[in-house]
Amino acid sequence: MLVRTLLAYALATIFGLVRARHQEYLGIPLGSTASQAYDYGLFRPLEDLSVLSETEFTRLAHPAFPRHSVRIKKSSFCDETVKAYTGYIDIEARHLFFYFFESRSDPDKDDVIFWTNGGPGCSSSLGLFMELGPCRVANAVNGTTFHPESWNSNANVFFVDQPIGVGFSYADYGEHVSTTEEAAKDIAAFVSIFFENFSKFKGRPFHMAGESYGVGGGRYIPVFAAEVYDQNTKLVEAGMTPINLASIMIGNGLTDFYSMTESYFDLVCSPASVHPILDIASCVRMKQALPRCMKMLKESCVDLFDSMSCNAGVAFCEAEIILPFYRTKKNPYDISRDCEGELSDTLCYPLTKQISTYLDFPKVRSLLGVDRSLAHTNFSSCSSSVGSAFGLAMDEFRPTYHYVSALLERGVKALIYVGVNDWICNHVGNERWTLALEWSGKEAFGVAEKREWVVHGKRAGMTRSAKGLTFATIDGAGHMVPYDKPKESLEMVNRWLSGKDL
């Protein structure tokens, strides 16, 4: 009993210190309530990003989210043609790092895009410096080069390192999140704080985009968007402007693990994208094992949702369906090429190492405003500990497609785009779940013509669209579509933002 009491006291003390530190961040006298803090003028909108400093953070808050605040500063780097900003989303002792770039076209009128990479546990610096950002890291020594096909050509774009422990994000006392639903609450609060403080963005169409496990794109984005949508009710009740959530964009996402597992056979044993890459004997064994694999996953991971039983099913499927591919040493993100380096070290792309080296330079970190607590920590593109935490929570097995259908029913459009050469989150599996999705537009989507979409007179891929849902493939692209096909990727996004068909 005494031990339990002492433990409770210790925890109360720790969390009291956390709250006190957070109040110090905001300049709120200790013991003040959120409404009192509002009276101090600390929640007053700044309205214009031009008032921000390049050397010091400005702290933003929101009366509806007393546990959250934002540190933000100007950061002149990467693209000198636009204004850029970096900072942290502070949730008491947890801190999420972000980049924000204004549009090259018309920042005062253009839409706003939120971007996150997947993993789970991979930094959005990959999206920024390798794929769709306004600059790319050619090599660490020479720094960044201008990227003409950046998605900020006609949109204002965020890149967020989340969840805690990813990239430059950190926690004071080892706090972490292990499910997408937990992470969604912090992202939704950040979105509201930003739009409330900078009034020129209020009411703008807002698009949430991501890639991979997204859980980058496939899982993160539908859940994050649903939280933003549901939170609008709270904002309206408080007399604040709701977020104009216009769409979600999921690139090579793992939205339904079940249909994706089934599709791994198609990618390696049929010409679904390239010539079959496995030998006939291996494909025959895989074909025989697939029904048992799918039965085990359905019973244990979908119907029962039991960790021990699900792990047993996953172990069987990995041995029979997954490992035969990895033995080929092909790139799981682009089966048309071999993996360069060790997958665990380079993600098959040595450029990821250059990005990490670049982000380790003290002058770069100082420019970005990276917290000093990370000074002796090497940058890592992906965090295995974050991935493990999500794995233990069985996060990837939760039915994310229900969020997509719910968003569609509420008028939020969805773009599901997939590079044809990707294996790990491939086009066959993604097309399967979009066709099977239960929603009011299912019949119309199922009978919609699947047609070519063209960029500059050349076929870019195939697409199907109905009632706000669009599925599109991109020829010649792998898992990271903007990296492999930057022109086609930008054209796809620009058409989507303008409301045009692909």
Q: Which residues are catalytic?
A: 212, 422, 479
Q: Which amino acid is at 243?
A: I
CB 410 within 8 A of CB 203: no
CB 105 within 8 A of CB 498: no
Q: CA-to-CA distance for 481 and 211, rounded, in angstroms?
A: 9
CB 91 within 8 A of CB 67: yes
Rg (CA), the chain: 23
CB atoms within 10 A of CB 139: 14
Q: CA-to-CA distance for 401 and 419, rounded, in angstroms?
A: 20
CB 122 within 8 A of CB 128: no
CB 333 within 8 A of CB 339: no
- Write the CA distances from 305 to 105, 249, 308, 397, 464, integer angstroms: 48, 28, 9, 8, 32
Q: What are phi and psi of 468, to 5 degrees?
A: 100, -10
Kindly give the residue spans of alpha helices, DSSP state H, lying in 98-217. Answer: 125-126, 180-197
DSSP 500: -
Q: Tell the residue number behind the tokens 């040595």, with chain if given.
A: 350
Phi-psi domain of 119 (left: phi exceeds 0; alpha: psi -120 through 50; beta: other):
left
What are the structure tokens assigned to 36, written together? 């009192």
DSSP 387: H
What are the structure tokens assigned to 34, written together? 């959120």
CB 251 within 8 A of CB 485: no
- Write the CA distances from 437 to 259, 262, 266, 294, integer angstroms: 11, 16, 20, 18
DSSP 28: P
3-state secondary structure of 103: coil
CB 474 within 8 A of CB 460: yes
3-state secondary structure of 114: strand
Cβ partners under 8 Å of residue 102, min gap 6: 49, 82, 83, 84, 152, 156
- 169 closest CA partner among 379, 360, 363: 379
CB atoms within 10 A of CB 2: 6
- The residues that bridge with 474 in the sheet, in sequence order, are 419
